[in-house]
Structure 1
Amino acid sequence: MKQITLLLFLFLLSSCAMEGEAPLTTFTPTDHNATEETRTLFTSLDAIRHQHVLFGHQDDLAYGYSWINEPGRSDVLETAGSYPAVYGWELGDLEYGNQENLDGVNFENMKQWIKEGYSRGGVITIGWHMNNPVTGGDAWDTEGDAVPTILPGGENHEMFKGWLDTFADFLNDLTVTAENGESHPVPILFRPFHEHNGSWFWWGQDLTTTEDFVALWRFTVEYLRDEKGLNNLLYSYSPDVFDSKEAYLERYPGDDYVDIFGYDDYHSIRSADTQETFINRLEMLVEMAEERNKIPAMTETGYEAIPDPDWWTETLLAGINANETTRRIAYVLVWRNANHEHDRPDHYYAPYSGHPSEGNFREFREHDLILFEDDLPNLYSLEMER
């Protein structure tokens, strides 16, 4: 039986520490004023990753391979029998005041889906493909040397602050009321400026200097935390693939500005031929995170259209479960299931009902290492089970 209370997790970790094995850690968020639920989530993710890995899916409640905006539906639920433990969401186009994001998801609906996932005990992570502040193009528009213009003193700095204000307004709507009648904001794993070591986004490696990228990250955190009073955010640093610790940390903004050590990998997770690379990256990620009291995670991954019917257990699980170190990531999130009629026919990363990998996905779900939503203890309380 997978389900276990977090108090028992902490007891087990403490026992290991007394026996000279895996030490009990005391990781805390970088925001010293973080809400109680946010601090507890951080502690819970650190505790649970010593035994389990949470499974996540992007846009899981908004649409699927053959449906759009149907209450209660989820391709993951309909194939694995449970919602995912982690829900990924995207805010691209929020900065323009649009009603829908860049993938056609209505923002008001998204707020409700975020609250719904959280109310069932799930973890919420949000990314943001911000549009190019110089050209007005999308995040993939790399013209205009954009980053210096939105730093303090830059010609687009006030506009960028306005974008962050819009983000703050969105988050302020993500307030829920507990059974005791008290309200609190939903804790969010926030993943800005991801895959920055590539050069396909305007904030990428060849588009800005290390100094300017670090300054942008630090300003964003300080503005949201200190000026806007958003104390429900855990910040995720998420480069694309890397082949050394030095490469991963090249643009690291510092321990006071990062909570999650993530990375995105669509490259080394396709077959056994690249599994050694995949394992090596996971080992480096966990080691770097634990050296800095951060939480390691696979923040974005997947195999488009899942052409290998055994990919879930033979490639993804096999890599994560390779050894004691690789198993200590907190979660793995696969990308979205675009609707095959109205969006992109082969752009999906979780199986839908009838997909050839559906049976193997259920095997993946049943493995003791992997947790879906209905396996979860209460990640937002260390005293009671959900």
Structure 2
Amino acid sequence: MSKPRTGYQLQVSLLLAALLVLAGCVAGRTGAAGTSVRAEQRFPYPLKVVDKRATYQTKAVFYNLRNSMGKRILFGQQDATQYGIGWRDEPDRSDVKSVSGSHPALYGWDVAELVNARRRGRPANDSVLVRHRQLVIDAYERGGFNTFCWHMDNFVTGRNFYDTTGVVVKAILPGGAQHAAYVSALDVITDYFNNLRAADGTLVPVIFRPFHEHTGSWFWWGKRHCTREEFVQLWQFTVRYLRDKKQVHNLLFAYSPDRVPDMAEYFERYPGDEYVDVLGFDDYSDFDKITTPNKGVATLAAIVGEAGRRGKIAALTEAGLEKITAPAWFNDNLLGQIKADPQARQIAYLMVWRNAHLGHFYAPYPGHASVPGFLEFQADSLTVFEQDHPRLYTVP
């Protein structure tokens, strides 16, 4: 039998019990960003992400993609489950799955569809927008991950992203004539991402890739249409508005120039490490043929090196051969050349463009001559599809 406790001992015991209860509440509480303190403690080291208040699942994507570099390359496609060759809006369908048995691990989307629809008066509960949102959520709930680009309409003329008339970037910066219109578009994006929730209420993580291919000049935000300072200011304003003013905490930010002659050109309009999570690269030309050396591979190798030094994710954010005119393109031209370089093969993911119709497609569909080569690409131990269960949202 234990001795009866003194009054002092009883006070100490009660104090310790209270501290334990408080510690338990702190460990299990949920913060404003929907991340638990206990979950945050599971990361083995502080993560250098743009948004320090990002949700646990968003940080986990960053952690897992960083750790996967050199071990696996996740495969993705734009609009994979939204439509394909000869079909549209069919449950659990993609051309990739029809030929390989699995959806891609990465799903590309375009936030322009959502912004344009809302700014033209369609409500958030419009059936097309609801369907689009559900495809994104479905991808997350199956274990895939989502990335959004933004083909922005010209804010000066009202025409599409290929219209380079007018000085658009300057006009949408703070103080510009179209700044309010740009902020209104960002508010639509805010509403979408802040309400992009899975069935259990979890915010779905997204890699957001605005102002892509800016080293070219085919879009109004391209190199010939704004100064370096204007581009950097626009990028930084966009990140701060979404992250700080609108409290969007489920985004990672990807920087993705087009083909560049060297890394000085790659970083010429770089907004800074504190504004970028993913170092990406779009290349629709260098993988058309098998060449030694291959410029696209060399650029990827350099990006991987920079990602290592800066603590970023490296990726081939867009690529592809329209109509896949080389049947072995996926396994030989793309993966074969990337694998041959010990540094380029360390990218975390790659994505090909959409399958819109028979004149514009970038992944095989049933019966196409590229199917056998694509299946070899899928079978390679380096590539990851959704059925391989990439486990992106938790940290062991």
- Report the TM-score range of the alignment, normalised by the length of the smaller protein: 0.7 to 0.9
Name the aligned partner's letter for residue 363 of structure 2: A
- 8 Å contact 1:301–1:332 — kept in the other structure? yes
Residues 1:113 and 1:266: Cα distance change in structure 2 (over 3 Å): same
1:148 shift after superposition? 0.8
- 8 Å contact 2:47–2:59 — kept in the other structure? no
Aligned to 1:82: 102
The structure richer in helix per residue is: 2
Name the aligned partner's letter for residue 365 of structure 1: Q
Name the aligned partner's letter for residue 175 of structure 2: G
- 8 Å contact 2:281–2:300 — kept in the other structure? no
Aligned to 1:354: 367
Larger radius of gyration: 2
Aligned to 2:169: 147
Aligned to 2:218: 200
- 8 Å contact 2:384–2:390 — kept in the other structure? no
Q: Does structure 1 residue 229 correspond to structure 2 residue 247?
A: yes
Larger deviation: 316-325 or 114-123? Answer: 316-325
Structure 2 SS opposite 1:54: strand
1:26 shift after superposition? 6.3
Residues 1:370 and 1:346: Cα distance change in structure 2 (over 3 Å): same
Aligned to 1:191: 209
Aligned to 1:246: 264
Q: Does structure 1 residue 114 correspond to structure 2 residue 143?
A: no
Matches within 5 A, 1:280-359: 280-338=298-356, 340=357, 345-359=358-372
Q: Does structure 1 residue 57 correspond to structure 2 residue 70?
A: no
1:66 shift after superposition? 1.3
Question: What are the Cα deviations for residues 318-363 of structure 1, in whole angstroms up to 9, with x where unaligned?
Answer: 122012211110100000001x3xxxx3100000000001011011
1:279 shift after superposition? 1.5
Question: What are the Cα deviations for residues 140-159 of structure 1, in whole angstroms up to 9, with x where unaligned?
Answer: 10011011111111111111
Question: What are the Cα deviations for residues 249-272 of structure 1, in whole angstroms up to 9, with x where unaligned?
Answer: 000000110000001000101111
The TM-score normalised by the length of structure 1 is: 0.87
- 8 Å contact 1:275–1:315 — kept in the other structure? no
Name the aligned partner's letter for residue 283 of structure 1: A
Larger deviation: 350-359 or 313-322? Answer: 313-322
Residues 1:99 and 1:48: Cα distance change in structure 2 (over 3 Å): farther
Question: What are the Cα deviations for residues 163-190 of structure 1, in whole angstroms up to 9, with x where unaligned?
Answer: 0001111112311243xxxx22100000
Matches within 5 A, 1:19-58: 27-58=47-78
Where do 5+ consecutive residues of structure 1 fail to align?
A: 1-23
The TM-score normalised by the length of structure 2 is: 0.85
Q: Does structure 1 residue 127 correspond to structure 2 residue 145?
A: no
Name the aligned partner's letter for residue 73 of structure 1: R
Aligned to 1:20: none
Aligned to 2:31: none
Q: Does structure 1 residue 172 correspond to structure 2 residue 188?
A: no
1:99 shift after superposition? 8.2
- 2:245 and 2:293 map into 1 onto residues whose CA distance is 44
- 1:73 and 1:123 map into 2 onto residues whose CA distance is 16
Aligned to 2:185: 163
- 1:320 and 1:46 map into 2 onto residues whose CA distance is 18
- 8 Å contact 1:296–1:330 — kept in the other structure? yes
Name the aligned partner's letter for residue 198 of structure 1: G
Name the aligned partner's letter for residue 273 of structure 2: D
Give the RMSD, CA atoms, in angstroms: 1.6
- 1:204 and 1:219 map into 2 onto residues whose CA distance is 17
Structure 1 SS opposite 2:323: coil
Identity, in percent, stands at 44
Question: What are the Cα deviations for residues 112-166 of structure 1, in whole angstroms up to 9, with x where unaligned?
Answer: 0000000011010001101101000101100110111111111111111110001
Aligned to 2:39: none
How many residue pairs align between the two structures?
347
1:27 shift after superposition? 4.7
Query: Of 367, 380, 383, which aligns to 2:380?
Result: 367
Structure 1 SS opposite 2:241: helix
- 2:229 and 2:333 map into 1 onto residues whose CA distance is 37
Name the aligned partner's letter for residue 82 of structure 1: S
Residues 1:107 and 1:206: Cα distance change in structure 2 (over 3 Å): same
Name the aligned partner's letter for residue 384 of structure 2: L
1:95 shift after superposition? 2.8
Name the aligned partner's letter for residue 60 of structure 1: A
1:382 shift after superposition? 1.3
Structure 2 SS opposite 1:206: helix
Name the aligned partner's letter for residue 378 of structure 1: R
Structure 2 SS opposite 1:199: coil
Residues 1:308 and 1:131: Cα distance change in structure 2 (over 3 Å): same
Structure 1 SS opposite 2:165: coil
